[in-house]
Amino acid sequence: MRHLDVREFRRAFRTWAALTKHLDDISTPRFSADRAKRQLIAGDLISLLNQDGDTWEATGSNPLAAYAESWPATAGGDIDPVYEMARTANDLDIYNSAFDADEYVDKVRDAILAVAPEGRAPLDGGVGLGGLVRYTTRDVKVAGSGHAVFTVDVHPVDDTRGPLGVRRDGDSFSIEIDVKLPTMIQRTSESERARRSLVGVQLPGLQPITPLLRPVADLAADKMAALACQPGVGDGILAPRFKDIADLYYIAQTCPVDGDKLRNALAENWHWREAGRSGPPYPYRFYGQAPAQDGETEILWHQGFEQLRSRIAQLKDYPEFGEMVGTITTFLDGAADQSNGVWDPARGQWRPSVRSEVSSAMSHALSPGTADKEPIVPMQKHLFVFDVDQTISKHDTLATLAELAGRLPEVNAVHAPDYETSIRAKIAVLRGVDASLVRQVAETVELSEGVEDLIRDLKAAGHEVAIASGGFDTIVGPLAERLGVERYAAGTLGIEDGVLTGEVSGLVDGPGKVTAIRRWNEELGIPRERTVAIGDGSNDVDMFEAVGFAAGYQPGAAAAAASHTILRDMGYLNRVAHLPLPDRLNAAARARRGGSERVS
C-alpha cells in the first residue's frame, strides 16, 4: 500500500517541527493536533505492514469514520468533516487475515518487529513517515483469548543533529497496536474497503490510506448486542458501554448498511448467541432501559452518556439524547423487518431491497389473482444485466458455430476443469474456420421468447440494460446492436486473413462479469443493490452473488443454487420491473383461473 509520495511530503515538511506546526495550525476543538498526529502514525504503521498486500485489516471502532459515506457537516479543507464527528481512539486495532491460527502470534510478532524493532536504540528503529520518525517496540503482551498488544514508541528525528539524530526524550510518544487473535474475529460477510482514508487530515504527499475493514454490519451487530445484553462487570460494578450509543448513531448517520447482512451478523454474534437470543429484537431497547424489565438492573443511560459527552469533544455537537435514541431505534427496529434491504443514512430510513421488492413482484406475478388489471407502481432506476448463451439466445452460440463448421463432435469432446481452459480448448478446435460463419451466427441468433420485448420495455421505463457474456464480441456486438443495448462485455476471437486463428483474448469469465458490472455501476451511478442479473450457467454464479437480485433463467444446478428466483419464461421479469405482463402470460393466467372471461 503506497501511501506517501515521500518527495512531495518531505518537500512540504522538512522537519518534524514543521509537520507538528502545520497540524497545530489546521486543528480544531473537535479535531486536535494530537489526534491528527496519532492518526497519521497509525495510518503509516498499517501501510508499512501492508506494503506487500492487503492482509492487515483495521478492526474495532477506531476506523469508524473510514466506513462513512456522508455526514451533514462542514469543516476546513484540510480536515475531513466526518472525523470531526466520529468518536475514535488513539490506538490501532488490526487483524491479519492471511495468518492461520497455527503460530499466529509468532507470525504477528515477526511482522510488527520488522516495522518497529524491539529493544533497539531509537537510532536503530524502523523508518516511518518518509524519515521523519523512527519506530521501536516494547512491552509485547499476549492475552489468553483476546489479543496481542504491542507498544510502539515513536521517535521524531532531531531537526538540528542531522538525519540520524533523535529529538529530546520528551518529544517521543507511544501508540498501542492491538492485534486481534483469530478466536476474536468473526466475519459474516466479505471484508470492506475503507470508503475514506484512515487519516482525517489532508497533507501534501499523503495518499488516502484505505485498507480492508471488518464488515460494517458485523461492527453494528457487536454494538447492538453490547447495548441490548447485560453489561459486563468492571471494578465490581456493571460497566455499560455508553460509547456504543455514539457509535451506533454515527453508523446510522453515515453508513449504508445491508439489512440481510445486519440480520445475519446479529444472528451469528457470539455475545447475542451466548445470551440465548436469535434474530434482531423488536422493538429494540437497551438493557436496563427504564422501565427496566424483570431481572434487569436499571441503567441510567441518559446520564451516563451525558457524562461521556462532556469528556469527548466530538460528541458535544451530537443532538439531544432522545433524538439520538430515536434515530438508533428507527435503524434497529427496521433491521427486524425482512423486507428492508438497505439503510439509507441520508434519509434516515430503510429502503426495500431489490431482492424483497423483486421477490414480492415475482410472487404477485405468479399468483392466480388479477395482476393484469392492477395499476403498476413505477420502480427506481435499475441496471439489468443479461447473459447471452441460453439466456438472451435460445442456444449456445459457440455450439452453433461449431455445428456450422462441421466440428461440433470435436468441440463437445473437450472437457476441462474450469471455464477459461474449456473455452480456449474449444476455440483451438475451430482454428482455420472461415470467419464468415461467425457473422452468420451473429445474424441468425434465435432469441429466447419474450426477451426482445422485455429489453425494449425495460429501456422505455428508464432502466439501464447491459450484456455480460462469456462469448465473443463478433457475435455479442451485433446482437447488442440488434437489441438496442449500448453496454456489453465479451471476449475477442482471433481472426486473421478471414479465418479463425484458434485463439481468444479478453475472455469474460465469472469474475470478469463482476468487474464489468462494477464498472457499469460506477458509470451509471446505480448501486449493486439495484442491479438485477439474469443468467443460466455456472459462469453466472459470481455475478449472481455480486448483485442485489439474481434471476436464474431455466438454470443449471449451480446457477439455480445461487438464484433468488427461477424463471421459466422471460416475460415474468416484467413484474420485476413493475411493468405489465406480456399478453401471452396474462392469457395463461386467465386460463389457470378457469377459462375465458365473460364479456358483457
Catalytically annotated residues: 387, 389
**CB-count exposure of residue 496 (10 Å: 0-12, 13-18, 19+):** exposed
Q: Rounded to 5 degrees, what angle do the CA atoms 80, 81, 82 make?
A: 95
Match 428507527 to its residue by C-alpha cell: 330
**For residue 446, what are the contacts with CB-CB under 8 A and spacing of at least 6?**
393, 394, 395
User: What secondary structure does DSSP assign to 189-201, as a single string?
Assistant: S--EE-SS-SS-B
**Nearest C-alpha neighbor of 36 from the set 198, 152, 173, 174:** 198
In the chain the first and final C-alpha atoms are separated, in Å, by 74
Confirm if 425 and 416 have CB atoms less than 8 A apart. yes
Beta bridge partners of 234: 237
Residue 118: Cβ-neighbour burial (10 angstroms; 0-12, 13-18, 19+):
middle
SS3 content of the chain, % helix, strand, coil (to 5): 45, 20, 40
The distance from CA 449 to its chain's CA centroid, rounded to whole angstroms, is 36
Q: How wide is the angle at C-alpha 444 spanned by C-alphas 443 and 450, nearest 5°? A: 110
DSSP-H helix ranges across 284-380: 301-311, 321-335, 354-366
Q: Is 580 exposed, middle or buried (0-12, 13-18, 19+ CB in 10 A)?
A: middle
List C-alpha distances in Å: 315 to 186, 243, 246, 324, 436.
29, 10, 8, 11, 70
Rounded Cα–Cα distance for residues 317 and 309 (Å): 9
Written as one letter, the residue type at 430 is L
Q: Give dist(CA 327, CA 501) in Å, integer.
A: 63
Nine cell digits for residue 587? 392469457
For residue 180, give the nearest of 212, 146, 151 by alpha carbon: 146
